[in-house]
Amino acid sequence: MPANLPPQYYEAERRYREAKEPQDKLKILHEMFAIMPKHKGTDKLQADLKFRISKLKKEIQQKKKASRRDQYFVEKEGAACVVLIGAPNVGKSQILSSLTNATPEVAPYPYTTLKPLCGMMPFENVQIQLVDTPPISSDFMEPWLAGIIRQADLVLLVVDLLSESMLEETETVFKRLEQSKIQLEIEEREVNPLDGIAHKKTMILGNKNESEDSEENLTVLKDLYGQRFPIFSISAKGKKNLEELKKKIFDSLGILRVYTKVPGKKADFEDPVILKIGSTLLDAARAIHKDFAYNLKYARLWGNGVYDGQMVQKDFVLKDGHVVEFHI
Ligand SMILES: Nc1nc2c(ncn2[C@@H]2O[C@H](COP(=O)(O)OP(=O)(O)OP(=O)(O)O)[C@@H](O)[C@H]2O)c(=O)[nH]1
Ligand SMILES: [Mg+2]
């Protein structure tokens, strides 16, 4: 049986020959594999491509270990940092693209994203940083990815509700992260200095929720992980449930916003001071300036649960929306 390869295949093969970086070569091999029709006539070619992919992956991993070059970090910005992680092709980049102004590469084949890419997601009057990352699979995880996950305030574990191997892919992500001493959990916990394990607050995000098949997979996902994690489903491409998702993300970050004012003037509601839930007046002063906190005597407060201009002390626990007039 002849292979009957489409012209795009030959085009990709040409780019493969011209590519210099092993990472680029790997990406093009995946693309060629996706383009190639899968039938008896291409069996040999399929096996050959798989072999070349696995060989190249090994080479890249070994080179990384040896040189430790390609390190990536993320400069934290905005009210909080949320990292998108998951198996190949689940739609992480599409989610970044649908929720922010960032323009990541989105493609129908796996291993598209090679390095982290940030975008800012507006929600009400705050900006939340989203970080798109390369995929995690049984034989591949960027060594620097662990560092980015560790420093995030929330992990969004993206799952492809249309994938036939959804559960396998998801378990693989858990396992790979455990090898890097990261445990995905419902709540964030301090790193235990004895074992170095980071317990990261995680939400499972079922993507591609557009059909009956995806509904079925969502039920399976909820049965299996519903006790351990909040689970939410969207269609990043179909723009379904995205506004609700933004609210869910904000709510699970455990942050509150207070607004400062000076005596006789109105508060600035555009520019909130972002604090953790449970923060006190003193914490708010510290967030503004160390010296300011040192000199703080009391504050007057407006908003939820206080009467207008109520005088409060340093240990007063603030709520979302409070307007604070500091007195030093
Ligand atoms: N049907 C459907 N397809 C989607 C949706 N979101 C993404 N896709 C498609 O899924 C494929 C992969 O999307 P990407 O965003 O590149 O996936 P990724 O997780 O970033 O992939 P890697 O970077 O390779 O890990 C593309 O063909 C997208 O168009 C969705 O909500 N519904
Ligand atoms: Mg991607």
pLDDT digits (tens, 9 = 90+) for 145-168: 999 999 999 999 999 999 999 999
Of all residues in the chain, what percent carry a pLDDT higher than 70? 97
Q: How do strand 182-185 and strand 198-207 relate by DSSP bridges?
A: parallel
CATH code for the domain of 121: 3.40.50.300
- Contact by Cβ (8 Å): 239, 191: no
CATH code for the domain of 293: 3.10.20.30
Q: Are residues 29 and 86 in the same domain?
A: no
- Of 17, 37, 67, which residue sits at a domain end? 67
Indicate the top mutation candidate among 237, 241, 242 to test ligand 1's pocket, ranked by most ligand atoms within 8 A of CB.
237
Q: Are residues 90 and 226 in the same domain?
A: yes
**Domain hosting residue 17, numbered range:** 7-67
What are the CA-CA distances from residue 32 to residues 7, 50, 52, 54, 185 (Å)?
A: 11, 10, 11, 14, 37
Q: Are residues 159 and 294 in the same domain?
A: no
Q: Torsion-angle region of residue 217: left (phi > 0), alpha (psi -120 to 50) or beta?
A: alpha
Q: Are residues 94 and 118 in the same domain?
A: yes
Report whether pLDDT(190) > 90.
Answer: no
Q: What is the pLDDT of residue 63?
A: 77
Element (H, E) at 203: strand 198-207
> What is the average pLDDT across 173-202?
93
pLDDT digits (tens, 9 = 90+) for 28-43: 999 999 999 999 889 9
Q: Are residues 27 and 119 in the same domain?
A: no
- Of 197, 231, 252, which residue sits at a domain end? 252
Domain assignment of residue 72, yes or no: no
DSSP alpha helix (H) spans, the chain: 7-18, 22-35, 43-67, 92-99, 145-151, 166-179, 212-225, 242-252, 281-288, 290-295
Instruction: Supply φ then ψ for residue 15, to 5 degrees.
Output: -65, -35
Q: Within 10 Å of residue 223's Cβ, how many Cβ atoms?
A: 9
Comparing C-alpha atoms, which of 307, 303, 300, 296 is closest to residue 320?
303
Domain assignment of residue 75, yes or no: no
Domain assignment of residue 74, yes or no: no
Q: Average pLDDT of the chain?
A: 93
Residue 211 beta carbon below 6 angstroms from any ligand 1 atom = no
pLDDT digits (tens, 9 = 90+) for 51-83: 999 999 988 888 777 665 567 889 899 999 999
- Centroid of chain to Cα 133: 7
- Report helix, strand or coil for 205: strand
pLDDT digits (tens, 9 = 90+) for 211-233: 999 999 999 999 999 999 999 99
Confidence category of residue 2, pLDDT binned at 50, 70, 90: low
- Of 202, 236, 252, which residue sits at a domain end? 252
Q: Are residues 181 and 308 in the same domain?
A: no
- Report helix, strand or coil for 114: coil
> What is the average pLDDT across 285-293?
86
Index of the ligand 1 atom closest to the CA of residue 132: 20
Q: What is the pLDDT of residue 240?
A: 97
Q: Are residues 105 and 224 in the same domain?
A: yes
Index of the ligand 1 atom closest to the CA of residue 162: 1
Q: Would the CA dihedral through 178, 183, 184, 185 be positive or negative?
A: positive
Q: Which residue has the tokens 């975008």?
A: 119
> What is the average pLDDT across 162-191?
95
